Amino acid sequence: MSAWQEVRDLITARETKTLADRVIALTEAERAEVAKRLPGFLTEMRDTAMQMARESERGQGLDDEDPWLAWERRRTVRDALSEFGTVLRIAGAGTISGPAAAAAWLTRRELYPEWAPAPSQAEVVRVLVTRPAEWQADVAARLALKIRRPGDDRIAPLALALLRASGITPPAHDMLVVAWLTGEAADDDPLLGPLLPRIFHAEGAGRALREERLTPTPTRWFSLVQRLLEAGRVSRAELLDGCVSRFLRGGNAADLRFFVRLHGLVGPTPQEAAERARDYLRLLPAAPGPVAELALTQINRCGLHDDADVQEAIEALTFRPEAKLARAGLTLLDREVRRSPARAGELAPALVTAFAHTSDDVRRRAVRIALRHAAALGRDAKPIAEAVPLLPADLGRELAAVFGGEVAAEETPEPFTPAPLPVFPEPGPFPLRAVDWATRAPYGWEACEQWLADFVERVGSDRAALREALLPAFGDYSPHLYDMECWLDPDAWIAAMAKEVITPGTDPGVPDPEPVDPWAGSSFSVSVSAVPPDEPEGHDHEPDGHAGPEGHTAPDDAAALDGHPALGEHLTLGDHAGRNAPAALDGHTAPDDAAALDDPAALGRHPALDDPAGPARLENEGDAEDEDSAEGEAAPEPAFGNLPEHVREEIFRQIRELGVSAERVAAMRDGLPVPPRDPAEPDFRVGITYFGFRPLFGKPEEPDPAVEFRRRARLPEPARVSPPHMFLLHRLSEIYRALQDGTLPPVLLATPTVTTGHLDPGVLVDRLELCAAAGTEPLPADLQQALLRLPRGAHPVAAERAARVGSEAASAVGGWLARGGLPDPEAGVKWGYVEGAHEYLFEERDPVHVERVRLVPLLRAEPTGHPLIDELLREPSKWCWDDHGYAMEWWPSILPSHREVVSVNYLPHLLYQWNHPGVYPPHLKGVADANGPIGDATSLILAYFLATSHPGSVPLLLRMTSRGALDAEAVGRQIALLIRRTRLEPRPVLASLREAAHKGAHEQVWEIVRTLLPGLLPSTGERPAVAHTEAVRFAADVAVWVGARGEIPAVSAHAATGRASRFARECARLRDLLAG
């Protein structure tokens, strides 16, 4: 066999290690031959994979010209080739002579999986390092330079491995450094020496290291640097110079974060800081805030001894937008003028710069410094006087009184003219327009309800005409409809109904599932051992267990076998000797109820243990009474018949090896009478260790009938979908089933009469009378939906009419109307969070580090006696998965008299909407137009829309105000919680509320702001932010607009601090306004 044939066979078999050994042993001539054949072999493999993909498509009857199939075919071919990627790379690494060609072969995209992580390159590297050193260096450099992005799994791991193995100097390439940083950090890494200094210059290095932290414990790279410093393998000066040089190169704060922390890890001494003082000074004007703060700290430690340097620092700091740094510049200026009053004129421009700062605190401090040093600044007062207009009027007046200058005009309050609240039209009658049967998918819930209502009526009145009307739109529509196991979209049900009318019986039904091995995933261990002849009968040979029925020893947790899944049970089944009953397998007298062998309540009971020999037990003592009683016993059954066959065979094999006769073992296996035991045969016991998810004894649990019903009806498991969606699917499913069975009523009860989804009680009774006249009962889900759509309260007139109809459905409706309908469920929301893979509630535990906020829906309702309504009112899951969130526009019309229940179901879809259905203002519009109490769930949803500045949020607030559906205080509380517990900011909320106030909802906006402030304002130990000041200022403006009175204790507390900050002044202003 030629070398190429050997290599080819090893590639085909994917024998990586053997292939690597063979390639290493090739001669030069054999290498050349393999290298020459490889490209053609790859083409051959590609063509074969393409041909197989095409044949598979043709076998499925797919269109060969479909563009999507062409893409799928290419993906399939690549996946097939990537399975051989490692062996093909090994072959190329050991045979291709040109470094450029070798590097190109090793990085071919088709030799790597598209989505899965790149496989191990260990064998490839083992082959590469056997090539000549110069060749290795060339290939390693080419591979390194091909790295284009940090996470390049195709190239980076191989390039780094070859660089480490070959020991060559890595080429200068930024992405190589970044790729190295994203890998593991090891003290003995040979690349540590050449690449570590490059992190200060490589573009992208800081971005790769931005998540490295020093606290609470140093992460991998900081930990490594600490060890290198302690070992003297890297110097402090090298790290400090690297950090400072990186700062001087510029960059954003996130990309410089690692180097700021590294600088802090090294911790320069005052002498080290003084050596770099000029560099720190150069960082003050324009470096990102954290870098400038670092530089200022080092300058303060070493001090500035040159007047020009001091002036440069002051001017740089007062120019900074960060209030903290600007205040530091003013402090330095104040100290310098105190030290040398003659320098006041030189430093006056820095004061002028501070006058124009955006921070009110900085401006006020600058004014105080100017007034304090007025004498020193006297002869240089002109720049100060010219800057007076830059200041607010109150500060300008103070400064102008000493230095002169023109004071800016007083800031006039925002003019406010109350606008009338918009009037929104009341919900109108449900549209009764003609259905366009040529439309395949009715748009919106109203069109779908109208379609269903007209469809049912037309089926009963003129099915032939309906068929002709549906045929153009649905005749060849959705050819794969019946291949779906579950129909989640209402459009699928509509299509199925149309197809059933066009061609009755087209639906073949859901096929039966493939048989399931009940022992799948189970594990057994069998041990058959001989019993010593002198061991007492019934001896407990498992001291850790307890005696189960029939003297069998079972583990203490053997009760888990009582009809429940058992994970990891050990059971010793008995002393199978036959001392009292020579022909019996277990040697123990069977209990009287031995016939109930499959009863899981009989712990450890098993046919093989109770009476495997059957009538052969009559040989024991030859008792005539036993002989008479045996006639009523059950026929013998195979020993261990409930266990998997391979376990049974192992038991019998071990019994046979102990010396039990083949004849007796065969009888046990086949369920035949077991011959008497020969005295030479040993006594034995069988021990089984079992891991699995079903009871070891007894029959597997029967399938749940409800699960089987849902499967055949193409309905999902309730946990997979939201409760309102499941309720809707029940309605659609029962209409479809009744259509198939020919049992459709003449009319649907639940079709609304109002656009909110409400149903007039009198119209409902009319429909009940129509069904009764036709001799049909309404559909159950349709009836229950009709009950939920009735207006709130009792309707005695309609109740009396319904009672006279005489049908079972009418009786249920009459009782519902008389009782006043569904009592309001308890509905609400709690705030929870995830921390360390555990879930908590904010009200139960203060968080340390919130990883994810979770809204916990609350819903409690008394049973109604209507199963689908009770299922609808179950508490929604706080998690979203699978198919949650379908048909959300339909939900308000399902419960139009209990809108807070709808909002509770919307909660899981509010905060995290990426890749999941989300709730939006149009959904809440339906809630606003409906009836029923409003609570925290609805208020939270509106608060979220306001906090995210959604374009529909203000119109929605106005609509809810007009409808009387706004709980302003609850909205304010929920806005505060959203800002406190999520990443939402106050400013978008204030903008939305300002707009709403100008459009007529100013009184409601004041109630929102009044309850918002206590939860939003800084708590003890928290510094006020600009957003806090803006919120209080806005509240003061709204208080003026509405003439509000009444103390807000949280505002008064901040006003009473006596601080001169703008926040404290705004709090004092609001306090005084509210005091009148």
pLDDT of residue 325: 97
Percentage of the residues of the chain whose pLDDT score is greater than 90:
68
pLDDT in tens, 43-86: 998 888 888 877 776 666 665 566 666 777 777 887 888 888 89
pLDDT of residue 544: 38
Q: Give residue 622's pLDDT band: very low, low, confident or very high (50, 70, 90).
A: very low
At 285, list the tokens. 């004007």
Return d(Cα 573, Cα 551) in angstroms, integer: 9
Mean pLDDT confidence for 652-659: 91
pLDDT of residue 635: 64
Return d(Cα 196, Cα 998) in angstroms, integer: 60
Q: Does 625 have pLDDT greater than 80?
A: no
pLDDT of residue 836: 87
Any idea how long the chain is? 1076
The better pLDDT of the pair 537, 781 is held by 781
pLDDT of residue 379: 73
Return d(Cα 221, Cα 201) in angstroms, integer: 17
Q: What are phi and psi of 200, to 5 degrees?
A: -80, -10
Q: Does 634 have pLDDT greater than 70?
A: no
pLDDT of residue 110: 85
Residue 797: how many CB atoms within 10 A of its CB? 12
Domain residue ranges in the chain: 3-171, 333-410, 556-691, 826-1016
pLDDT in tens, 168-192: 899 999 999 999 999 888 899 999 9
* Conformation bin of residue 551: beta by default, left when phi > 0, alpha when psi is -120 to 50: left
pLDDT in tens, 832-875: 999 988 999 999 999 988 999 999 999 999 999 999 999 999 99
Eight-class DSSP state of 828: E
pLDDT of residue 561: 32
pLDDT of residue 698: 64
Mean pLDDT of the chain: 87
pLDDT in tens, 962-996: 999 999 999 999 999 999 999 999 999 999 999 99
pLDDT of residue 916: 79
pLDDT of residue 931: 96
Short-list 416, 413, 412, 427, CA closest to 1000 = 416
Nearest-10 crossing angle of helices 986-996, 1026-1042 = 20
Mean pLDDT confidence for 582-609: 32
pLDDT of residue 418: 83
Q: What are phi and psi of 750, to 5 degrees?
A: -90, 0
CB 855 within 8 A of CB 910: yes
Q: What are phi and psi of 914, to 5 degrees?
A: -70, 125
Short-list 130, 69, 58, 61, CA closest to 94 = 130
Short-list 362, 397, 351, CA closest to 1062 = 362
Cβ-proximal residues to 579 (8 Å cutoff; 6+ apart), any chain:
537, 587, 683
Nearest-10 crossing angle of helices 936-947, 921-929 = 140
In the sheet with 838-841, reading across from the earlier edge strand, the strands are 838-841, 826-835, 852-860
pLDDT of residue 111: 85
pLDDT of residue 68: 67
Residue 160's H or E segment, with its range, is helix 156-166
Return d(Cα 946, Cα 948) in angstroms, integer: 5
At 496, list the tokens. 């199925």
Q: Does 547 have pLDDT greater than 70?
A: no
At 100, list the tokens. 């450029």
CB 711 within 8 A of CB 510: yes
Amino acid at 690: Y
Q: Does 487 have pLDDT greater than 80?
A: yes
β pairing state of 569-576 and 683-691: antiparallel
pLDDT in tens, 317-340: 999 999 999 999 999 999 999 999
pLDDT in tens, 796-835: 999 999 999 999 999 999 999 999 999 999 999 999 999 9
Short-list 282, 295, 366, CA closest to 331 = 366
Q: Give residue 697's pLDDT band: very low, low, confident or very high (50, 70, 90).
A: low
Mean pLDDT confidence for 522-531: 89
Specify the range with the lowest mean pLDDT, choosing from 470-479, 572-581, 628-637: 572-581
Return d(Cα 339, Cα 331) in angstroms, integer: 12
pLDDT of residue 680: 85
